[in-house]
Amino acid sequence: MNRRRKIYEGKAKILYEGPEPSTLIQHFKDDATAFNAQKHEQIEGKGVLNNRISEYVFTRLAEIGIPTHFVRRLNMREQLVREVEIIPLEVVVRNVAAGSISKRLGLEEGTALPRSIIEFYYKNDKLGDPLVTEEHITAFNWANPQEIDEIMALVLRINDFLSGLFLGIGIRLVDFKVEFGRHFENDMMRIILADEISPDSCRLWDVETQNRLDKDRFRRDMGGLIEAYQEVARRLGILVENGHPKASGPVLVSSK
């Protein structure tokens, strides 16, 4: 049925050739993976929710001047994006200790970090995405020092904005992962935010209950992943009770 040219297939998404030059179609699958794909399941409806949540977040970020690959949503599972040369780094920003930093440094999950910490991981599934430093990044030419500076400035702005956005709807942004790419236009190159921002790539904890509203529900076999992602979408104002999305802003949650 599908005659579009597949450019790349990842664990949770597929990229197809886009309808215009320099564009791609980003398709969100229902696949959930963890521990470098050793754990793998289909979770019906996850792709649809991530498509909408990521659209919402990228649109808000564009409004504050963050350059992103997002052009427009095409349908329930797909969005039109700008083609980039992906920088092979997963850039993680952490506000609260959880996951790998808790293990590596022996920090109890939930401990507020003294300040936001940026980490770089080399995107390589065979190696399990190892943590790397700026020395590795520049020595191996994955990005140059100027690009690293630009990426660090962008992720700090993204973190500030998203922390406030989520706090306003009763959610603590514990950490998140983003990816960047080089976009070429008329002999000009600029670094833009690519990939997705969704509960697959963030840790989102309810402020009141500490309830996990993110992919840790899958990683840790807690169940209720779809309900958690729906809750995030509902609080963002992009999902109403009957499931039909509407286009309003975030719904404030009073903290009493």
Q: Do 122 and 88 meet the contact criterion of CB atoms below 8 Å apart? A: yes
Shortest CA distance to 180 belongs to which of 82, 74, 59? 82
Nearest CA to 91 among 39, 153, 11, 40? 153
73 is a site residue for ligand UDP (CB under 6 A): no
Which has the closest alpha carbon to 157: 18, 236, 61? 61
- Determine the interface stretch with ligand UDP among 15-23, 55-63, 68-76, 173-181 (rule: CB under 6 A): 173-181
Q: Which one of 79, 95, 163, 201 is in contact with ligand UDP (CB under 6 A)?
A: 201
The region of 106-114, 134-142, 200-208, 248-256 touching ligand UDP under the rule CB under 6 A is 200-208
Beta carbon of residue 185, minimum distance to ligand UDP (angstroms, whole number): 28
Sign of the dihedral defined by the CA atoms of residues 129, 69, 23, 202, in that order = positive
Q: How many residues bind ligand UDP (CB under 6 A)?
A: 12
Name the burial class of residue 102, with classes exposed (0-12), middle (13-18) and buried (19+) by CB atoms within 10 angstroms of its CB.
Answer: middle
Q: Which of 23, 59, 100, 211 binds ligand UDP (CB under 6 A)?
A: 100
Closest distance of CB 201 from ligand UDP, Å: 4
Closer CB to ligand UDP, 201 or 230, in the complex: 201
Pick the stretch among 16-24, 196-204, 220-228, 232-240 that binds ligand UDP (CB under 6 A): 196-204
Please select the residue that binds ligand UDP; options are 77, 82, 177, 183, rule is CB under 6 A.
177
Binding flag, residue 59, ligand UDP (CB under 6 A): no
Q: At a CB cut-off of 8 Å and minimum separation 6, what does 136 contact?
A: 122, 142
Q: Is 203 among the residues that bind ligand UDP (CB under 6 A)?
A: yes
Binding track over 126-145 against ligand UDP, x by CB under 6 A:
---x----------------
243: left (phi over 0), alpha (psi -120 to 50) or beta: left
Q: Do 212 and 205 contact (CB within 8 A), yes or no? A: yes
